Amino acid sequence: MFDQITLSNGLRLIGERLDHVRSVSVGLWLGAGSQYEIPPEAGVSHFLEHMAFKGTQKRTARQIAEEMDAVGGQLNAFTSKECTCFYAKVVDEDLPLAIDVLADLVTAPKFDPVELEKEKGVVLEEIAMAEDAPEDVVHELIMLAHFGDQPVARPILGSEERVSAFTRDDLYAYWRHMYAPRDAVLAIAGRYDWEQVVALAEKHLLSWDAGERYARDTQTHAVRPARLWREKDVEQMNLCLGFPGIAIGEKRSYAFSVVNSVLGGSMSSRLFQKIREESGLAYSIYSYPNSYTDCGLTTIYAAARPDSLKQVVEMTLREVRALAEKGMTRAEFEMARQQLKAGYILGQESTSARMNAAGRRLLLLNRTRSEEEVIRAIDGLTFEGANELAKELLSAEPSVALVGKGAEKALKGLNI
């Protein structure tokens, strides 16, 4: 069962108490991510996350690090398409410090101009590092190929041009309008006293206010799948095929996981066994599901030598079509369902995983789901339902992204 309350400024609190641990994970979730940016702001959500750690109105960057290190705590943050999360994990007795620091990072960043220029260099290095990794490039490219020029397809890191141009005023304006308590969640999991949590939240976050939130159209529309390529002087061809997926929170989201597991989401999957184990044509081949609030994507990734690419594509499409037309076997279904269930149960042993699940779900869907409800949903999956979904998703025309030396010519020679 969850503890829940909404403060008078609109901030939602959710907690899951676990008496058998001594740690506590706490995260401050914000409705700010790359999907809410307009083109001139590309990358600002991620850059703002970085700048919060460079100093607040009452702490320097060094003090932020030293205060958490002094108690052996963990402090970090991440930015995604639809949210930003600042989080900490500490021994239960240090929860007051964790909430104090997280609140400080989110509600009082300093945006020091000198530190801003320094951090631009750090983020530009991060962008360059991603650009040097063909696997990262092709995963970004498949989003653009599948969704077109829509917010969901924009890179979280932004571009070198935009990041280089950010000013303190840009960051302040975005922070002022997107870091708002009514669009935020404080999530906690582990050993805690709920009355203390509420008191700490009121002490550090009740005075938090913000301007009127930017009104942004983030609805994702269906577009015709495209075929995109990028030339890279690398030894392997990096390929992604994109098929439709399921939005986060949909009833069939667990069936989506089962379909993916059978296709290429595990070592026993069809793609891994056929293309890597039996044929030895690729070292890396897998599939994974992406789910957002109003759309989803099933992605297949493969890295292969140029002379093996055509065969890898043919075998991959053969397996995709077979799963769509003939469905999975009962043995595959039961194995995938058990993998999903076991993976979920094992993940529940982590306070961080529990905090992440509760915070993300409440922020994006405005609802919660207990462990018992999730297990019942997984147990309630049907063989017929999973196969219907596989047919629906994998019968569609795929989007294609290819990165490598001679990618344009190679793509034209593929029968997709």
Helix or strand or coil: residue 123? helix
The shares of helix, strand and coil residues in the chain, as percent rounded to the nearest 5, are 50, 20, 30
- Measured between alpha carbons, how far is residue 408 from residues 4, 95, 139, 414 in Å? 53, 54, 17, 10
Residues 117 and 40 sit within 8 Å (Cβ to Cβ): no
Question: For residues 83 and 31, is the Cβ–Cβ distance under 8 A?
Answer: yes
Nearest Cα to 135, choosing from 406, 407, 410, 403?
403
- What does the block give as tokens for 409? 């010519």
With contact defined as beta carbons under 8 Å apart, do 152 and 6 qualify? no
State the catalytic residues.
49
189 exposed, middle or buried (CB, 10 Å; 0-12, 13-18, 19+)? buried
| Bridge partners, 27 (sequence order) | 87, 187
Closest CA to 416 of 397, 403, 390: 397
